[in-house]
Amino acid sequence: MVTETRALRALPRKHDPEHRVKLIVDEWGAWHAGAADMPPNYLWAYPGSLRDALVAGLTLDTFNRHADKIVMANVAQLVNTIHSLFLAHEDQFTVTPNYHVFAMYASHMGGTAVRTAFSAPTVGFTRPPAGAGASAPAEPAAARVPATLWGLNGSASLREKALTLTVVNPHATEPRACAITVRGASVRDGRATVLSSSDLRAHNSFERPSALTPHDAPAHARGNAFTHTFEPASVTRLSLMLE
């Protein structure tokens, strides 16, 4: 996503030096195989898990960091299919972890994007070679390609004296202690909202609609510098009040 966004941002520079042309990103989201416990007549249906929520957070933060260029971005889809926010069947209804990420990130709405810079050890993993789709045969371990992912990344926005900082820690098992510096302001108070689990496949269902929901966590935020520890496999919103 970051590489593609930077490439897209570079395209208009030659023909649009004043940056009047904006970008629209359509139907973004993770795409997994359908789940056996979903209604069989639902297209590509799966319940959405914590791993999807991490993808949602990383993607929304990318859009926020490029708010000067991206004016619209549409998730795919809303109900009962790819990267859904809601699940419904007859008289049953529940929300997915993706919904909770969207609800957490709603605090950015109406704010002014603030530049953020992150520095953290990267996360190493392996992925299938390019062109290997979801329907392709499983690749032997030797054929997988080494890759890395941000160790921490996020975005920030300011509305009057309220600073919202959203951060994703994509590491499945390791917390990340992070020194946070706020330039040009001082934090008076702060609170954290966290979506996390020790199980990357944790998800909600009609039987357990609250199996994975955000929880409040301490945020000892004072002054213009403080330290916060981000839980493993987590999406965190820090709500900071400035003096």
Closest among 27, 1, 3, 30 to 134, alpha carbons compared? 30
Describe the crossing of helices 50-65 and 97-105 by its angle, rounded to 10 degrees. Answer: 30
Query: Which pLDDT score is estimated for 241?
Result: 97
Lookup result for tokens 């395209």: 11
Q: Of 38-47, 97-106, 117-126, 152-161, which range is least confident?
A: 38-47
**Residue from 57, 46, 58, 54 nearest 83 by CA:** 46
Q: Cβ distance 193 to 239 under 8 Å?
A: yes
pLDDT (tens digit per residue) in 134-192: 555 555 656 889 999 889 999 999 999 999 999 999 999 999 999 999 999 999 999 99
pLDDT at position 177, please?
Answer: 94
pLDDT at 128: 82
d(CA 200, CA 22) in angstroms, rounded, equals: 35
**pLDDT at site 6:** 59
Tell me the two tokens of residue 66: 């490029």
Backbone angles phi, psi at 7, to 5 degrees: -65, -40
What b/e sequence results for 192-208 when a residue is b if at least 16 CB atoms lie within 10 Å of its CB, and e otherwise? Answer: bbbbbbeebebbbeeee
For residue 33, what pLDDT is reported?
A: 83
Which one, of 237, 240, 122, 231, lies nearest residue 181 by Cα? 240
- Comparison of pLDDT for 11 and 89, the residue scoring more: 89
* Torsion 38-92-48-203 (CA) sign: negative
Residue 133 has pLDDT above 70, yes or no: no
CA distance 204 to 207: 8
In this prediction, residue 38 carries a pLDDT of 80
Mean pLDDT, rounded, of the chain = 89
- CB of 98 within 8 A of CB of 53? yes
- Report the percent of the chain where pLDDT is more than 70: 89
Q: Phi and psi dihedrals of 89, rounded to 5?
A: -155, 115
Question: What is the CATH T-level fold of the domain 2-121+147-242, as seen in this structure?
Answer: Immunoglobulin-like (2.60.40)
Residue whose C-alpha is closest to residue 162's, from 184, 180, 188, 183: 188
Q: Is the dihedral angle over the CA atoms 243, 64, 180, 53 positive or is it negative?
A: positive
The residue behind tokens 């639902």 is 42
- pLDDT of 1 reads 46
Q: Which helix (H) or strand (E) holds 233?
A: none
